[in-house]
Amino acid sequence: MADDPLFWVAAIACFAVLFILMIGVGGFAKGGDFNRKHANKIMRLRIGAQFVAVLLILVFVWFRTGG
């Protein structure tokens, strides 16, 4: 499984979602001007990245099961 490039692409996409989520949570926890300006944009970006990550995981599973 670890030698499959699609696995690594899906894993990187998952870590990108985690990174975006941590930026959003950190901005929310800190509050202030950054949170007011960028909170909605960051969470929309997270949703888009999460959609791509889930699609990549589904494609990976489909190829691994012989789909």
pLDDT value at position 28?
92
pLDDT in tens, 20-48: 999 999 999 988 898 899 999 999 999 99
pLDDT at 67 over 80: no
Q: How confident is the model at residue 3 (pLDDT cuts 50, 70, 90)?
A: confident
Residues 38, 27: contact at Cβ < 8 Å?
yes
DSSP the chain: -TT-HHHHHHHHHHHHHHHHHHHHHHHHHH-HHHHHHHHHHHHHHHHHHHHHHHHHHHHHHHHHTT-
